[in-house]
Amino acid sequence: MIIHDLLRDETGATAIEYALIAALVSVAAIIAIQGVGSEVNSTFQTAQSKMEAANNL
């Protein structure tokens, strides 16, 4: 009876499912932030080079 009850208990499975969902969302967020970060870095480098060029006039 105890083994049967343990096999039917799904509370741990639900916690694992939520942990997997949270991990997938985290990975997606990290990938998105890296892509946006590269674009922002490129924009700032362009602005910096244009300001340096204007300063040398």
pLDDT digits over 20-50, tens only?
Answer: 999 999 999 999 999 898 899 999 999 999 9
6 has pLDDT over 70:
no
Q: Which residue has the higher pLDDT, 45 or 5?
A: 45
What's the confidence (pLDDT) of residue 35? 86
Two structure tokens written together for 23: 């991990």
Confidence tier at 7 by pLDDT (50, 70, 90):
low
Distance CA 36, CA 41 (A): 9
Q: What range does the domain containing 14 cover?
A: 3-56
What's the confidence (pLDDT) of residue 38? 87
Half-sphere exposure of 42 (CA within 13 A, CB side): 6
Distance CA 10, CA 12 (A): 6
> Domain tally for the chain?
1
